[in-house]
Amino acid sequence: MKRNAQQYLKSWRRESTRRPLIIRGARQVGKTYLVRSFAQEFENLVEINFERNPEIAELFVSNDPVQIIGLLELLLQTTIVPGKTLLFLDEIQARPNIIASLRYFYEEMNDLHVIAAGSLLEFALAKPTFSMPVGRIEYLYLGPIQFEEYLVAIGRQKLVLFLKNFHLSDSIPAPIHKQLLEHLHVFIITGGMPDAIKNFIDNKSWQNCEKAKASILTTFQDDFNKYGTKVNPDILYDLFRKIPFQIGQKFKYANINRHLRAAVLSKALSLLCQAKIATKIHHSSGNGLPLGAEISHKKFKTIFLDTGLMATACGLNVLDLKKVEDIIMVNNGALCEQFIGQHLLYSGEFYREPELFYWAREQRGSSAEVDYLVSNGTNIIPVEVKAGKGSSLKSLQMFLKTKQLKTGLRFNNDTPSLLQTKSALANGNNIPFQLLSLPLYMVGQTKRLLAELD
């Protein structure tokens, strides 16, 4: 499956100041597949898996790139030529000290292309037992397959081109809109995990897709014993099982287990977030950029890794294709909020660590919550996600009025529209604002279309 990150890797290859690249992301989002696909740009790929062959780590002890390459060529009976060979260090978390060696490849053999990746790599990077080569390596953050990548995978490239060439002055014909919604409904259930999509495409079977997702969820659980000894795996499992039901809500530890201290659950949640299975969406005051400058660490929501995994974890896997549209409305549109959230989370540059925020005001008789906040240039844009076509936008209007902003964004099932209007709040002094409404399937074009407004 073609990933958008492949284009980024091509640019990385051409850079004169290129650093060894470490791919970060959850299990089974396609890190190894991405590198192998990219390797077709080279004359040969030298791939080392440190889980299968941990003894090869001994060759890196010298920290001398020339000596290391010579020993690898001898052991693997291959030729490694800078500029023509891609050296891929997979499952590097099994021997994380090798990451320290990457600085010498940058300093002394910069013309050799080196990529590293690994499952649960975040744990090794969070508390390294080695000297991190700061400034001598770079990262690529990889998430699940996005909707437009999925369309390419199922042979609907022309629909992707249609979305990329759409302008706010255009309209979407009803048959095209209907077809895109149908593909969206299927994607929300299959999700963006490559193995689940491949099983669905190859076998045209929901059952095979569900088996693949169930296997991925089991793999995540099997990893819990690797997270460390300070958190009981049973607590991790309980939290893992309940997070999919918390999407769209302010996270409360009491909703997970009233009998455990919040500090215990907080540590367990942090581990799941390190593994990228879940992500905290922190509350931001939204007073200015960057949005992360004024966040509340105690006030946050969570999203799961992937909408398809969320659907399976919530027990929605028994529904057939005819009922998929009904799933969109489950839990007041929580699946839609998950879908938009995971796409906005990974909508930034590949080298930036993914982050996402929301806004809430909790006052007696005047509470409000905006699903997400994003930035557009120097502007802050409140984002509401609505499962149906209609809906009240009271919270969005309140945010715009409070922060004296002029643009709001809504995702729903309707065709695109741009409305110039005024806020309609009960306390008067209503301000003019513009509301951009986009269909859920157009989330991949958010930044481009917001920029078009300017």
Angle at CA 407, nearest 5°, toward 340 and 346? 25
Angle between helices 206-222 and 233-242 (to 10 degrees): 150
Residue 94 confidence (pLDDT) above 70: yes
The candidate with the shortest Cα–Cα distance to 110, out of 155, 66, 62, is: 66
Mean pLDDT of the 353-381 span: 90
Do 57 and 152 fall within a single domain? Answer: no
Do 115 and 157 fall within a single domain? Answer: no
Tell me which of 141, 173, 193 is where a domain ends.
141
Write down the pLDDT at residue 230: 73
Do 203 and 128 fall within a single domain? Answer: no
Do 311 and 162 fall within a single domain? Answer: yes
Write down the pLDDT at residue 3: 96
Query: pLDDT digit string (tens) for 135-150?
Result: 999 999 999 999 999 9
Tell me which of 96, 123, 141 is where a domain ends.
141
Do 228 and 310 fall within a single domain? Answer: yes
Do 209 and 346 fall within a single domain? Answer: yes
Write down the pLDDT at residue 320: 46
pTM of the model: 0.94
- CA dist 448 and 435 (Å) reads 16
| N- to C-terminal Cα separation, the chain | 34
Tell me which of 115, 141, 167 is where a domain ends.
141
Query: pLDDT digit string (tens) for 6-44?
Result: 999 999 999 988 999 999 999 999 999 999 999 999 999
Residue 286 confidence (pLDDT) above 60: yes
Domain of residue 197: give its range.
148-453
Do 159 and 117 fall within a single domain? Answer: no
Percentage of residues in the chain having pLDDT higher than 90: 79
Do 301 and 189 fall within a single domain? Answer: yes
Q: Which residues pair with 115 in a beta bridge?
A: 21, 88
> Quick one: CA dihedral 292, 294, 298, 301, positive or negative?
negative
CB-CB contact of 374 with 408 (8 Å)? no
Q: What is the CATH number of the domain that holds 99?
A: 3.40.50.300
Write down the pLDDT at residue 321: 44
Do 442 and 310 fall within a single domain? Answer: yes
Confidence of residue 367 (pLDDT cuts 50, 70, 90): confident
The candidate with the shortest Cα–Cα distance to 19, out of 109, 143, 94, is: 109
| Burial per residue of 233-266, b for 16 or more beta-carbon CB atoms within 10 angstroms, e otherwise | bebbebbbeebbbbbbebbebeebbeebeeeebe
Query: pLDDT digit string (tens) for 221-233?
Result: 999 988 877 789 9
Do 391 and 277 fall within a single domain? Answer: yes
Beta strands across the sheet bearing 407-412: 295-304, 278-284, 357-361, 368-376, 379-385, 407-412, 432-439, 417-422
Give the total number of structural domains in the chain: 2
Of all helices (H) and strands (E), which one includes residue 98? Answer: helix 98-108
Q: Give SS3 for 343.
A: helix
CB-CB contact of 340 with 385 (8 Å)? yes
Confidence of residue 323 (pLDDT cuts 50, 70, 90): low
Contacts 24+ apart (CB under 8 A), 257-265: 260/235, 264/231, 264/235, 265/235, 265/239
> What is the Cα 290 distance to its own chain's centre?
20
Query: pLDDT digit string (tens) for 185-214?
Result: 899 989 999 999 999 999 888 889 999 999
Write down the pLDDT at residue 372: 98
Do 336 and 264 fall within a single domain? Answer: yes
Q: Where on the phi/psi map is residue 276: left (φ > 0), alpha (ψ -120 to 50), or beta?
A: left
| Beta strand pairing call for 417-422 and 432-439 | antiparallel
Count Cβ atoms within 10 A of the Cβ of residue 348 and give its class: 0-12 exposed, 13-18 middle, 19 or more buried. Answer: middle
Do 177 and 50 fall within a single domain? Answer: no
Confidence of residue 86 (pLDDT cuts 50, 70, 90): very high
Q: Which residues, 6+ apart, have CB-to-CB distance to 428 below 8 Å?
A: none
Q: Which residues pair with 373 in a beta bridge?
A: 357, 382
